[in-house]
Amino acid sequence: MASIFPKLPSHITHLNLTMENEFRRENMCPPFFRKVALQVHFCKEMARAMPALEHFGYTGRVCGSFFDSMAALSNPRTSRLRSVELTVKNLCRPPLQWNDGSAITDMAFIYSFETLVHAAVRSLRRLRALDYIHIKFIDLGNITPLPHPPESNQRPDSVLPSWNPYFLLKNNACLGMWSDAILESLEKSRPGVKWLECSESTTTFDCLNWNDPQNLTRMRAKSLKVASYLSLSSGITIT
Protein backbone atom coordinates (compact mmCIF):
# COMPACT_ATOMS: atom_id res chain seq x y z
CA MET A 1 0.00 0.00 0.00
CA ALA A 2 2.83 2.41 0.78
CA SER A 3 4.11 1.93 -2.78
CA ILE A 4 0.64 2.42 -4.30
CA PHE A 5 -0.28 5.73 -2.65
CA PRO A 6 2.24 7.91 -4.54
CA LYS A 7 0.98 6.38 -7.83
CA LEU A 8 -2.73 6.75 -7.14
CA PRO A 9 -4.54 7.78 -10.39
CA SER A 10 -5.45 11.46 -10.40
CA HIS A 11 -9.08 10.77 -11.38
CA ILE A 12 -9.73 9.10 -8.00
CA THR A 13 -11.21 11.75 -5.71
CA HIS A 14 -12.90 9.62 -3.02
CA LEU A 15 -11.00 6.86 -1.24
CA ASN A 16 -12.05 4.61 1.65
CA LEU A 17 -9.43 2.21 2.96
CA THR A 18 -9.72 -0.40 5.72
CA MET A 19 -6.43 -1.94 6.83
CA GLU A 20 -7.60 -3.34 10.18
CA ASN A 21 -11.19 -3.54 11.39
CA GLU A 22 -10.85 -5.45 14.68
CA PHE A 23 -10.83 -2.92 17.51
CA ARG A 24 -9.92 -4.87 20.62
CA ARG A 25 -7.25 -3.11 22.60
CA GLU A 26 -3.63 -4.17 22.21
CA ASN A 27 -1.16 -4.70 25.02
CA MET A 28 1.48 -3.72 22.50
CA CYS A 29 1.78 -3.32 18.76
CA PRO A 30 2.14 -6.70 17.01
CA PRO A 31 5.50 -7.78 15.54
CA PHE A 32 4.34 -7.32 11.94
CA PHE A 33 3.78 -3.60 12.49
CA ARG A 34 7.12 -3.13 14.23
CA LYS A 35 8.78 -4.83 11.26
CA VAL A 36 7.00 -2.57 8.77
CA ALA A 37 7.79 0.54 10.82
CA LEU A 38 11.51 -0.19 10.53
CA GLN A 39 11.21 -0.04 6.74
CA VAL A 40 8.65 2.68 6.02
CA HIS A 41 6.46 5.16 7.87
CA PHE A 42 3.09 4.29 6.39
CA CYS A 43 1.39 7.52 7.51
CA LYS A 44 3.82 9.67 5.54
CA GLU A 45 3.37 7.56 2.40
CA MET A 46 -0.41 7.62 2.82
CA ALA A 47 -0.29 11.42 2.89
CA ARG A 48 1.16 11.46 -0.63
CA ALA A 49 -2.23 10.53 -2.07
CA MET A 50 -4.11 13.34 -0.34
CA PRO A 51 -3.47 16.38 -2.59
CA ALA A 52 -5.67 14.88 -5.36
CA LEU A 53 -8.47 13.66 -3.08
CA GLU A 54 -11.68 15.31 -1.93
CA HIS A 55 -12.60 12.67 0.66
CA PHE A 56 -10.51 10.13 2.56
CA GLY A 57 -11.78 7.47 4.95
CA TYR A 58 -9.37 5.17 6.77
CA THR A 59 -9.45 2.43 9.41
CA GLY A 60 -6.15 1.25 10.86
CA ARG A 61 -2.97 2.53 12.48
CA VAL A 62 -2.17 6.18 12.12
CA CYS A 63 -0.44 9.09 13.85
CA GLY A 64 0.06 12.84 13.64
CA SER A 65 2.64 12.44 10.88
CA PHE A 66 -0.24 11.80 8.50
CA PHE A 67 -1.67 15.30 8.93
CA ASP A 68 1.76 16.96 9.20
CA SER A 69 2.94 15.36 5.95
CA MET A 70 -0.36 16.01 4.20
CA ALA A 71 -0.19 19.70 5.08
CA ALA A 72 3.43 19.96 3.93
CA LEU A 73 2.60 18.33 0.57
CA SER A 74 -0.54 20.37 -0.10
CA ASN A 75 -0.83 23.73 -1.80
CA PRO A 76 -3.24 25.92 0.21
CA ARG A 77 -4.55 27.48 -3.00
CA THR A 78 -5.31 24.24 -4.83
CA SER A 79 -6.00 21.68 -2.09
CA ARG A 80 -9.36 19.94 -2.73
CA LEU A 81 -9.58 17.74 0.36
CA ARG A 82 -12.88 18.45 2.11
CA SER A 83 -13.40 15.55 4.51
CA VAL A 84 -11.31 13.06 6.51
CA GLU A 85 -12.70 10.20 8.60
CA LEU A 86 -10.28 8.12 10.67
CA THR A 87 -11.13 5.09 12.81
CA VAL A 88 -8.04 4.40 14.87
CA LYS A 89 -6.85 0.87 15.61
CA ASN A 90 -3.72 2.11 17.36
CA LEU A 91 -1.31 5.02 17.12
CA CYS A 92 2.08 4.33 15.64
CA ARG A 93 5.02 5.22 17.84
CA PRO A 94 8.79 4.61 17.66
CA PRO A 95 9.46 0.93 16.78
CA LEU A 96 11.54 0.36 19.92
CA GLN A 97 9.01 1.89 22.34
CA TRP A 98 7.69 -0.89 24.57
CA ASN A 99 4.51 0.71 25.96
CA ASP A 100 2.73 1.21 22.64
CA GLY A 101 -0.59 -0.47 23.30
CA SER A 102 -4.09 0.95 22.83
CA ALA A 103 -6.53 1.54 25.70
CA ILE A 104 -8.38 4.47 27.23
CA THR A 105 -6.72 3.60 30.57
CA ASP A 106 -3.23 4.03 29.08
CA MET A 107 -2.04 7.64 29.23
CA ALA A 108 0.72 6.97 26.69
CA PHE A 109 -1.99 6.10 24.20
CA ILE A 110 -4.18 9.06 25.22
CA TYR A 111 -1.28 11.50 24.82
CA SER A 112 -0.56 10.01 21.38
CA PHE A 113 -4.22 10.48 20.44
CA GLU A 114 -3.93 14.10 21.57
CA THR A 115 -0.90 14.48 19.29
CA LEU A 116 -2.97 13.14 16.38
CA VAL A 117 -5.80 15.61 17.05
CA HIS A 118 -3.30 18.45 17.50
CA ALA A 119 -1.73 17.65 14.12
CA ALA A 120 -5.18 17.58 12.49
CA VAL A 121 -5.97 21.02 13.89
CA ARG A 122 -2.62 22.45 12.78
CA SER A 123 -3.16 21.15 9.24
CA LEU A 124 -6.28 23.31 8.83
CA ARG A 125 -4.06 26.31 8.19
CA ARG A 126 -2.91 24.87 4.87
CA LEU A 127 -5.81 22.56 4.05
CA ARG A 128 -8.23 25.41 3.50
CA ALA A 129 -10.98 23.33 1.86
CA LEU A 130 -11.02 20.80 4.72
CA ASP A 131 -14.19 21.45 6.71
CA TYR A 132 -15.03 17.99 8.09
CA ILE A 133 -12.78 15.83 10.28
CA HIS A 134 -13.90 12.86 12.35
CA ILE A 135 -11.31 10.89 14.31
CA LYS A 136 -12.41 8.17 16.71
CA PHE A 137 -11.12 5.24 18.76
CA ILE A 138 -13.46 2.51 20.01
CA ASP A 139 -12.07 0.67 23.04
CA LEU A 140 -13.78 -2.71 23.07
CA GLY A 141 -11.45 -3.82 25.84
CA ASN A 142 -10.69 -7.33 27.01
CA ILE A 143 -13.33 -7.59 29.72
CA THR A 144 -16.82 -9.05 29.84
CA PRO A 145 -19.32 -6.73 28.14
CA LEU A 146 -22.27 -5.25 29.97
CA PRO A 147 -25.63 -7.06 29.67
CA HIS A 148 -27.77 -6.28 26.67
CA PRO A 149 -30.57 -3.77 27.16
CA PRO A 150 -33.85 -5.74 27.37
CA GLU A 151 -35.32 -4.03 24.30
CA SER A 152 -32.23 -4.41 22.11
CA ASN A 153 -30.21 -7.24 20.66
CA GLN A 154 -27.32 -4.93 19.89
CA ARG A 155 -24.15 -5.20 21.92
CA PRO A 156 -22.65 -1.95 23.28
CA ASP A 157 -19.68 -0.60 21.30
CA SER A 158 -17.54 -0.72 24.43
CA VAL A 159 -17.75 -0.98 28.18
CA LEU A 160 -17.22 2.78 28.66
CA PRO A 161 -18.47 4.36 25.43
CA SER A 162 -18.55 7.85 26.96
CA TRP A 163 -14.77 7.76 27.33
CA ASN A 164 -13.95 6.66 23.78
CA PRO A 165 -11.73 9.51 22.54
CA TYR A 166 -12.85 11.32 19.42
CA PHE A 167 -12.55 14.63 17.61
CA LEU A 168 -15.22 16.09 15.35
CA LEU A 169 -15.02 19.19 13.18
CA LYS A 170 -18.30 19.94 11.43
CA ASN A 171 -20.13 23.11 10.41
CA ASN A 172 -17.33 25.31 11.82
CA ALA A 173 -17.70 23.77 15.28
CA CYS A 174 -15.70 21.18 17.24
CA LEU A 175 -16.53 18.49 19.77
CA GLY A 176 -14.51 15.85 21.57
CA MET A 177 -10.97 15.68 22.86
CA TRP A 178 -9.31 18.97 23.72
CA SER A 179 -6.37 20.48 25.58
CA ASP A 180 -4.99 23.98 25.89
CA ALA A 181 -2.47 23.26 23.12
CA ILE A 182 -5.22 22.08 20.76
CA LEU A 183 -7.35 25.15 21.48
CA GLU A 184 -4.44 27.51 20.85
CA SER A 185 -3.59 25.81 17.54
CA LEU A 186 -7.21 25.94 16.42
CA GLU A 187 -7.34 29.68 17.07
CA LYS A 188 -4.27 30.16 14.87
CA SER A 189 -5.21 27.70 12.11
CA ARG A 190 -8.95 28.36 11.72
CA PRO A 191 -10.09 31.35 13.84
CA GLY A 192 -13.70 31.04 12.66
CA VAL A 193 -14.10 27.56 14.17
CA LYS A 194 -15.40 27.35 17.75
CA TRP A 195 -15.70 24.63 20.36
CA LEU A 196 -19.29 23.88 21.34
CA GLU A 197 -18.25 22.83 24.83
CA CYS A 198 -14.99 22.77 26.79
CA SER A 199 -15.68 21.36 30.22
CA GLU A 200 -12.95 21.29 32.87
CA SER A 201 -14.75 18.75 35.04
CA THR A 202 -15.61 15.08 34.63
CA THR A 203 -19.20 15.58 35.82
CA THR A 204 -20.45 14.12 32.54
CA PHE A 205 -18.87 10.81 33.50
CA ASP A 206 -19.30 10.88 37.27
CA CYS A 207 -23.10 11.18 37.04
CA LEU A 208 -23.55 8.06 34.89
CA ASN A 209 -25.70 5.26 36.23
CA TRP A 210 -23.27 2.36 36.00
CA ASN A 211 -26.11 -0.15 36.54
CA ASP A 212 -27.97 1.02 33.44
CA PRO A 213 -26.29 -0.44 30.31
CA GLN A 214 -28.73 1.38 28.03
CA ASN A 215 -27.70 4.72 29.53
CA LEU A 216 -24.01 3.90 29.08
CA THR A 217 -24.54 2.94 25.46
CA ARG A 218 -26.28 6.12 24.36
CA MET A 219 -24.16 8.62 26.31
CA ARG A 220 -21.52 10.51 24.34
CA ALA A 221 -19.51 13.26 25.93
CA LYS A 222 -19.34 16.54 24.05
CA SER A 223 -16.16 17.53 25.87
CA LEU A 224 -13.20 15.26 26.65
CA LYS A 225 -10.30 17.06 28.29
CA VAL A 226 -7.09 15.07 27.96
CA ALA A 227 -6.25 15.44 31.66
CA SER A 228 -9.57 13.81 32.59
CA TYR A 229 -8.24 10.42 31.51
CA LEU A 230 -5.85 10.49 34.46
CA SER A 231 -8.81 9.49 36.61
CA LEU A 232 -9.05 6.21 34.66
CA SER A 233 -5.34 5.45 34.63
CA SER A 234 -4.21 6.92 37.97
CA GLY A 235 -1.41 8.49 35.97
CA ILE A 236 -0.01 5.14 34.82
CA THR A 237 1.26 5.06 31.24
CA ILE A 238 1.53 1.28 30.99
CA THR A 239 -1.18 -0.73 29.24
- Tell me the Ramachandran region of residue 172: left when phi exceeds 0, alpha when psi lies from -120 to 50, beta otherwise: left
pLDDT on residue 153: 43
Check residue 141 and give its pLDDT: 66
Whole-number pLDDT of residue 238: 47
pTM of the model: 0.83
Please tell me whether residue 197 adopts helix, strand or coil conformation. Answer: coil
Quick one: pLDDT at residue 234? 56
Sites in the chain below the pLDDT cut of 50: 143-156, 202-218, 238-239
Instruction: Name every residue whose Cβ is closer than 8 Å to that of residue 159 and which is 6 or more positions away in sequence.
Output: 139, 140, 141, 143, 145, 146, 216
- CB atoms closer than 10 angstroms to residue 57: 15
* pLDDT value of residue 116: 98
pLDDT at 201: 59
User: Which tens digit of pLDDT belongs to each residue from 85-131?
Assistant: 999 999 988 766 667 889 898 899 999 999 999 999 999 999 999 99
Inter-helix orientation angle 107-123/65-73, to 10°: 10
Asked if residues 63 and 93 have their Cβ atoms less than 8 Å apart, the reply is yes
The pLDDT of residue 191 is 94
Q: What is the pLDDT of residue 60?
A: 93
